[in-house]
Amino acid sequence: MKKVLSVLLVLCLIVGAVPMFASAYGEDEDFEIITGASGDRAVTGYHGTGGEVFIPDGIVAVLDGAFDNGGNVTGLQLPESVRELATGALSGCTSLKKMLILNPSIYIGEHAIPSCVEDIYFNGTKAQWEQTYGYYTVSSSTTLHFNEGSDAQEFETDGTVLVKYNGSGGAVTIPDSVTKIGRAAFMWCDTVTSVIIPSSVTMIDGSAFMNCHSLTSITIPVSVTSIGSLAFANCIGLKDVYFDGTEAQWNKIEINNMEGGNHFLNAATKHFKDGGDTPAPSTGFTDVKSTDYFADAVKWAVENNITAGKGNNLFKPNDKCTRGEIVTFLWRSAGSPEPETAANSFSDVKEKDYYYKAVLWAVENDITAGKGVGTFKPGDKCTRAEAMTFMWRAAGEPAPNGASSFKDVVSGSFYEKAVGWAVEKGITAGKGTGTFKPNDKCSRAEIVSFLYRGKDL
């Protein structure tokens, strides 16, 4: 049965320059497909009539030799689910003129793209393209079309290592999922003025902040044990270092100052915990007062290893939680159980991600099914409706005794029963004036409060 892939609608994202493919869609029966032990499906052969061909959605790889019979293929679309285009996969596509690649994180094997290709439409930025082998081996006669309008990930990570900062600068707070600031992660980020490093970080690698001329202050947690060579080289504006510990603890940090590479770090004014700074309140965070409605919830979340804050004695209660963060909070509040399977159907969730096990667990327990087209969207900000629904499903989807009285909770909506249940259990009372505000983004203060109130259910 022929498929009209909905992803064609995103073609307008590619700078408005992507031509619509004609209607010669590849049928599933045109492909030889293998299924691995994990459930991943890959194309190993093609026997269609050619023309403009669409790889079926859900395929994760196109393997070597898959298009040995693809001499009549003139156009090829790889859906977002495809994570790998192997070397030799398209070697038989001698008439291929245009390609559409929808997954900006795809692995493209060396010389995988035939030299006859005239146009490649890549649903990502030039910087993302340069992370593939295609960047090095695609023919110089091929015209590349990038989606430079897509949002760049502010913090690029490899597992828990911060690889590169792509933000707009100013005051930067590094996520508490990071344990190491990698080599050259902030190099030449001349718009960054201050950086707060969370207590999860133990190492600042060499050249990490090299040539950050506008950096004036940095907050370093007591968890840091080593700072690499040239980490703060040429940080000529660095004046203040705020250290969440004593001077004695600072002196125990292994700072590589080879050839004076960390001179500006050493010369900056140090502010120590025993130097008269205001001590953290009983909640453990300077931005959480004991009188705040979420104070007890924050203390509980820290004591139960649900979160460690954002570093420098900050919890950042008003920061909006991502979907990745919220399922992780929920997973940790359940005791961080091991997923029963390693099957992962999401192209944007990798084993190296801090939320990997949390997402697998959440899927296994029918807490979430993702955002469609094989994606989970871990970086999307979570709404109050989503957060409440996640909690309700984790509790087993208990039926509420009645409908909620909120005028903005739509009858029959996916979150209607979740909100009704949450109100009955005292998890939420809404946002005032008879509203729940289901589409508002959920703050860190709100989600830990929801979890705290529902901890004994």
Below-70 pLDDT ranges, the chain: 1-27, 133, 135-136, 148-152, 274-284, 291, 432-433
Structure tokens at 122: 């890549």
CA distance linking residue 328 with residue 378, whole number of Å: 10
- Residues 311-324: tens digit of each pLDDT: 777 888 888 888 99
H or E, element range at 137? helix 134-137
Asked whether the beta carbons of 235 and 209 are under 8 A apart, the reply is yes
The residue type found at 203 is: M
C-beta atoms surrounding 26 within 10 Å: 23
Q: What is the largest CA-CA distance in the chain?
A: 77
CA-based radius of gyration for the chain: 25
Q: What is the pLDDT of residue 193?
A: 86
Structure tokens at 180: 């190491």
In angstroms, rounded to a whole number, what is the distance separating the alpha carbons of residues 224 and 261?
18
Q: Are 39 and 69 in contact (CB under 8 A)?
A: no
Choose among 359, 352, 353: nearest CA to 382: 359
**Which string of b and e fits 402-440 if b means at least 16 CB within 10 Å?**
eebebeebeeeeebbbbbbbbbebebbebeeeeebbbee
Tokens of 8: 């064609």
What does the pLDDT read at residue 68?
A: 95
Q: How far is CA 272 from CA 13, 316, 444, in A?
A: 49, 21, 28
Report the pLDDT value the prediction gives residue 307, as an integer from 0 to 100: 85
- CB-based contacts of 130, cutoff 8 Å, min separation 6: none
The pLDDT value recorded for residue 282 is 55
Q: What is the pLDDT of residue 149?
A: 53
Helix/strand/coil percentages in the chain, nearest 5: 20, 20, 60
Q: Which two tokens stand for residue 257?
A: 């100052």
| Cβ pair 269, 302 in contact under 8 A | no
- Whether residue 329 contacts residue 448, with contact meaning beta carbons closer than 8 Å, is answered with yes
Q: What is the pLDDT of residue 403?
A: 75
pLDDT at residue 10, rounded to an integer: 37
Rounded Cα gap, residues 355 and 348, in angstroms: 11
The predicted model scores a pTM of 0.42
